[in-house]
Chain A
């Protein structure tokens, strides 16, 4: 069966510090991978998605970046965090040809607080 891991679960970082959040998927090959941010009262915002190794699509301009160094690994980074980067970060995967088209499976999330 497939599982998705995210770490760390919580993170408190000062403004201006770097960030690295990691997401890994087990039990599937060549998944689509997604990074979302959930801020209070603002729903779920798609930040990046990837359809393959080294292929990253950015959805919103910001000081974050994403990388996919391996098939089942997706990393979200920042060189200098802003207060507005605080939120709940969710990683998800999908296989478009699954029985339910583009059903996305979410990780447990990382709660980031920037002080």
Chain B
């Protein structure tokens, strides 16, 4: 079955850039997402990218997709304390009613 992997923890100094990585196995993935989960809450969609794109930028967020290596990354510029959260990548293909989520990366900001 499909598999999505992330490292569990990342610590970054306030003001630096954070880069969260994700690898997936399903070569038919069409849509890839980044969700954010703040403590004790549900997940919220942060950004997404289509498989025919290499990069997407949205304010402080940059998503890079290497389809050949099945590698997705999320870069957060000028990381702030409010960025502390668990970040999940997820993938699906068109017509699939399910998303496959990664294990989540807990981002900790060091003052």
Contacts and interface: CB of A to CB of B under 8 A. Distances in A.
**A-B complex is real:** yes
Interface string B61-104: 00000000000000000000000000010001010111101111
Nearest to A32: B97
Contacts of A103: 33, 45, 48
Most chain B beta-carbon contacts within 10 A, residue among A101, A103, A109, A111: A101
Best-surrounded residue of B33, B43, B101, B102 (most CB of chain A within 10 A): B43
Interface string B27-59: 000110100000011111100100000000000
Contact of A106 (B42, B97, B98, B103): B42
A47 to B, nearest CB: 11
Question: What's the interface size class on B, roughly?
Answer: 20 to 34
Contact of A108 (B41, B88, B99): B41
B9 to A, nearest CB: 10
B41 A102 contact: no
B44 A106 contact: yes
Contacts of A96: 97
Given A90-B42, A109-B42, A100 B48 contact: yes
Interface in A45-96: 46, 49, 51, 59, 90, 92, 96
B84 to A, nearest CB: 17
A102 B31 contact: yes
3 closest Cβ pairs, A-B complex: A106-B42, A43-B103, A44-B101
Nearest to B42: A106
B102 A43 contact: yes
